[in-house]
Structure 1
Amino acid sequence: MDREKQRRGISRRRFLKDVVLGGAAVGAGLTMAPGVRLANAAKKGVYTMKYDCYIGATAETAQLDNWFLDELAKRSDGRIQIKKFWSGSLHKVGQHLPAIRDGLSEISLISYGYYPSAVPLSRGLEWYYRGCDHADSLLYVCRDMYNATPELRREWEDRNRAKVLYFTNWSYCPFIMKEPLPDVAALEGRKVRGYGIGADTVNRLGGQGMPIVAGEVYTSLERGILDGAFAFAFITAEKMKLHEQAPYIVESGAGAHAPTTVVMNRKLWRSLPDDLKEVVNQTIADLYNWRFLELYTKLTEESVDKMVAAGAKFSTWSDSEIKKATNMVQPLQINEWVEKIAKANNFDGAAFQKKVDALIQKYEPGKLKNPWETYKQKYM
């Protein structure tokens, strides 16, 4: 990628934008009328769908989605065709869920932090220091909670006219720091990028959560605006080369990072013939059963190797420091959601969280190693 950057003579800022928002050109040149022409599709037996995403194709969630979409096309013998719009080339951040609702796009990746008023109950699945320490465990917890909670299904299906296809997540988010971070106390006053509930987590640990968009994190580290990043997916951080500015990768015991949901326009889903629905459902089953773990394991190992080769330093907090951090964040974070969000929506948040606890116990320990575990296995 560096050689390509030099060949084109583009600036560092442009290079980062291309990495973060990589793939924008995939769909930018395509012009389509809003929505799927369902009647014509039914006549021809072909359903052309737009996949609409705010991130670039190199991010881990994007790579998983890419596999899923390509499998749909292959397994349906071309009866499902996907036009992919990466990096906000069709709709911008914060517009994707309304676009699904209104039929302006057909499939999209939804990160909850951008839609707090549209999916308030689903945000009860988003936490740190909860004991859900493996990303594959979080995958199954979210899936089972959705299937067991009518209010969640109504939130997506009725409020947003979205058919949930599958849950995914951003795997892990160690602290990525410009200077060593040996313990919780060292975070005091540090300016750390945080996404959604991640910024709240940084604040509870004594740092200063900074809601800076992903594409500006590298330059913010470079200019001293930030001391580090948290709630920032490790694999994506490597793709963006954050370790060039912040080479200290610190495991803090926060657990799996940032659930997301891939959805389809509900009207389109209902229009699909049963055999194509079965293709979709079987591909989803394979994603849950093996593809998520296979892909994310590979990507984590690759990112660890590249960071080590570039001189990054991996470390972990002690068990006592992780326990201290846990007590600073939980159950205060959960209780705040129960009191301020769940009750305002006439929802029994306490009972919901008890079910979450039970599912965490069911699915932990998971199998997907975090970056520190991967580093320790390979280099220690």
Structure 2
Amino acid sequence: MDKQNNKRGISRRRFLKDVVLGGATVGAGLTMMPGVRPANAAKKGVYTLKYDCYIGATAEPAQLDNWFLDEIVKRSDGRIQIKKFWSGALHKVGQHLPAIRDGLSEISLISYGYYPSAVPLSRGLEWYYRGCNHADSLLHVCRDIYDDTPELRREWEDRNNAKVLYFTNWSYCPFIMKEPLPNIEALKGKKVRGYGIGADTVNRLGGQGMPIVAGEVYTSLERGILDGAFAFAFITAEKMKLHEQAPYIVESGAGAHAPTTVVMNRNIWRSLPDDLKEVVSKTVEDIYNWRYLELYSELTKESVDKMVAAGAKFSTWTDEEIKKATNIVQPAQYKNWIEKIATPNNFDGVAFQAKVDALIKKYEPGKLMNPWETYKQKYM
């Protein structure tokens, strides 16, 4: 089939878009619920949307998204229906944002590190040791800076044909090590998995950042390829049982981890009637107001308990060591973004980061305890 289509000048991607998936048109999205005849489906306005995700359903952002998706189905009285594709079942890592742009998917979770050329300005929200020490604070910082920055909105909406539904993140990323890590000096020369700006952070602290995909981290620890992991979400690490190979969970003061954005194809968003847009918007408000904090608190406590039961050892760097790490990483890290990304894109990165600082001060301290704080509260 593919060869025949190519001979006719039709690419496989175009064929899937136009014939199989049909996600870019309202006609394809306006489909039948079980037991509803075609004429009634059009009359009732039932929208079947694909949620397309590169991570598994047990990861913390995925669990939040799952709640959101189920809620909009329920609150819309079934007029919105969702088909969920987890773990790259529909598109692979690095393909999800183009799929949203081209209408091959309707809703997706986007992690910026996989799309450096597509969302360069948004990557100005990726940093560690910045004083944003609570993940719920980062949630609100990202929302407010987006609302206040036209260039960010154009980056998502015009450049990528994506309607931002809400911001989320991967909560916290303590060092997860095979051996104790009492201080920065102990990190020297250690091979540590790092995602995106996380690898840069490891390198600045004297380690060797290793860009190994999440699914291969366990075996890499097992085989000695890695000495540990950073920029790997704590809750997801527990679900993937990394502590079996790396039982030392070390809080280093890095702060909130890895902002992400949940988006919808902009054409689909515009096609929704106002009452369904209101359903989506009200559900998003609940994420910011209470659901994120509630869910991530529950998941953090659960993961701490399971790791403790399995023999993991929790510790933290001293305040002096955390301050030393902070001075090594910042402001050098975000100034590098200003110089190499913001300025070449004719974007005032200095003013942007000043807004970020102001918002961090506004929303800190947040309420979501990190793994060490959770452990300390229950076990010390």
Q: Same fold (TM over 0.5)?
A: yes
Deviations 1:172-210 (A, max 9, x none): 000000000000000000000000000000000000000
- Name the SS for the 2:321 alignment partner: helix
Please tell me whether residue 208 in structure 1 is matched to residue 208 in structure 2.
Answer: yes
1:225 maps to: 225
1:39 maps to: 27
* Contact 2:176-2:247 at 8 Å conserved across structures: yes
Q: Does the C-alpha gap of structure 1 residues 264 and 183 become closer, same or farther in structure 2, counting only changes over 3 Å?
A: same
* Cα shift at 1:52: 0.1
In the TM superposition, what are the counterparts of 1:41-60 in structure 2 within 5 Å?
A: 41=30, 43-60=43-60
Please tell me whether residue 360 in structure 1 is matched to residue 357 in structure 2.
Answer: no
1:313 maps to: 313
The structure with the largest alpha-carbon Rg is 2
Please tell me whether residue 184 in structure 1 is matched to residue 184 in structure 2.
Answer: yes
Give the counterpart letter for 1:345 in structure 2: N
1:3 maps to: none
* Cα shift at 1:68: 0.1
* Cα shift at 1:123: 0.2
Distance in 2 (CA, whole Å) between partners of 1:126 and 1:276 is 32
Deviations 1:61-120 (A, max 9, x none): 000000000000000000000000000000000000000000000000000000000000
Please tell me whether residue 108 in structure 1 is matched to residue 108 in structure 2.
Answer: yes
1:5 maps to: none
Distance in 1 (CA, whole Å) between partners of 2:20 and 2:247 is 44
* Cα shift at 1:33: 2.5
* Cα shift at 1:39: 3.2
1:330 maps to: 330
In the TM superposition, what are the counterparts of 1:262-341 in structure 2 within 5 Å?
A: 262-341=262-341
Please tell me whether residue 254 in structure 1 is matched to residue 249 in structure 2.
Answer: no
In the TM superposition, what are the counterparts of 1:161-176 in structure 2 within 5 Å?
A: 161-176=161-176
* Cα shift at 1:36: 5.2
Deviations 1:147-171 (A, max 9, x none): 0000000000000000000000000
Distance in 2 (CA, whole Å) between partners of 1:51 and 1:291 is 20
Distance in 2 (CA, whole Å) between partners of 1:154 and 1:286 is 25
* Contact 1:36-1:48 at 8 Å conserved across structures: no
Distance in 1 (CA, whole Å) between partners of 2:287 and 2:179 is 38
In the TM superposition, what are the counterparts of 1:55-74 in structure 2 within 5 Å?
A: 55-74=55-74
Give the counterpart letter for 2:242 in structure 1: L
Distance in 2 (CA, whole Å) between partners of 1:334 and 1:286 is 31
Distance in 1 (CA, whole Å) between partners of 2:72 and 2:245 is 39
1:27 maps to: none
Distance in 1 (CA, whole Å) between partners of 2:288 and 2:50 is 23
Identity percentage of aligned residues: 85
- Name the SS for the 1:163 alignment partner: strand
* Contact 1:109-1:262 at 8 Å conserved across structures: yes
Deviates more, 1:31-40 or 1:232-241: 31-40
Tell me the C-alpha RMSD between the 2 structures.
1.0
* Contact 2:52-2:84 at 8 Å conserved across structures: yes
1:156 maps to: 156
* Cα shift at 1:372: 0.1
Give the counterpart letter for 1:282 in structure 2: K
Distance in 2 (CA, whole Å) between partners of 1:300 and 1:142 is 22
Distance in 1 (CA, whole Å) between partners of 2:20 and 2:55 is 21
* Contact 2:120-2:341 at 8 Å conserved across structures: yes
- Name the SS for the 2:21 alignment partner: coil
Please tell me whether residue 139 in structure 1 is matched to residue 139 in structure 2.
Answer: yes
- Name the SS for the 2:166 alignment partner: strand
Distance in 2 (CA, whole Å) between partners of 1:214 and 1:243 is 14
Structure 2: runs of 5 or more not aligned: 1-18, 31-41
* Contact 1:36-1:49 at 8 Å conserved across structures: no
Distance in 1 (CA, whole Å) between partners of 2:266 and 2:228 is 40
Distance in 2 (CA, whole Å) between partners of 1:280 and 1:129 is 34
Distance in 1 (CA, whole Å) between partners of 2:235 and 2:289 is 21
Distance in 2 (CA, whole Å) between partners of 1:36 and 1:153 is 21
2:194 maps to: 194
* Cα shift at 1:231: 0.1
Give the counterpart letter for 1:115 in structure 2: Y
Please tell me whether residue 81 in structure 1 is matched to residue 65 in structure 2.
Answer: no
Distance in 1 (CA, whole Å) between partners of 2:191 and 2:133 is 25
* Contact 2:24-2:102 at 8 Å conserved across structures: no
Structure 1: runs of 5 or more not aligned: 1-30
* Cα shift at 1:274: 0.4
- Give the TM-score normalised by the residue count of structure 2: 0.91
Give the counterpart letter for 2:23 in structure 1: G
* Contact 1:187-1:205 at 8 Å conserved across structures: yes
Give the counterpart letter for 2:21 in structure 1: A
- Give the TM-score normalised by the residue count of structure 1: 0.91
* Cα shift at 1:34: 2.9
Distance in 1 (CA, whole Å) between partners of 2:43 and 2:179 is 61
* Cα shift at 1:32: 5.3
- Name the SS for the 1:68 alignment partner: helix
1:14 maps to: none
- Name the SS for the 2:82 alignment partner: strand
Give the counterpart letter for 2:146 in structure 1: Y
Distance in 2 (CA, whole Å) between partners of 1:308 and 1:117 is 41
